[in-house]
Amino acid sequence: MLVSFLGSLPLGTLNIAAMQISISDGVMAAILFSAGSLLAEIIYVRISLVAMDWIRKQEKILKALEWVTLVIVLALAAASFYAALHPSVSKNAILDSPMPKFILGFVMSALNPVQIPFWFGWSTVLFTRKFYCLRMSITIFI
């Protein structure tokens, strides 16, 4: 939970979306949005821990995954710089949609590609440092 909390501290798309929903639709809508985001993150954590447990036993795949992760992070950084250099101001059609806020939060979190390298990276670090108790506690929780 500490890793997830620290990962959610910096301002990101979902944090700003929750803040905007809170301003425009109220605190309860923002809490529902956040709960949907949390559910998607729990699913990502479970999948990444199971996947990393299998992948860390496959040394060739683990080596290739390190390079793939590097390419993904560099591509995301380049896309962020491009978006910052070419801003567009318009009404946010996604946040203003009539979709229930819980479902909106779940979908936005599930489609967020940043979580995949984040959780693969952290689970690699935790497995390398022999934090198996973390995996057991998450397995029991989920």
* pLDDT confidence of residue 136: 45
Q: What does the H/E/C string look like for the chain? A: CHHHHHHHCCCCHHHHHHHHHHHHHCHHHHHHHHHHHHHHHHHHHHHHHHHHHHHCCCHHHHHHHHHHHHHHHHHHHHHHHHHHHCCCCCCCCCCCCCCCHHHHHHHHHHCCCCHHHHHHHHHHHHHHCCCHHHHHHHHHHC
Angle at 64 between CA 120 and CA 80, to 5 degrees: 55
Residue 135 predicted with pLDDT over 60: no
Per-residue pLDDT reduced to its tens digit, 45-62: 788 777 777 777 777 877
Give the tens place of pLDDT for each residue, 75-101: 988 988 998 888 877 666 677 778 899
pLDDT higher for 134 or 18?
18
Question: What pTM was computed for the model?
Answer: 0.61
Domain boundaries, the chain: 2-141
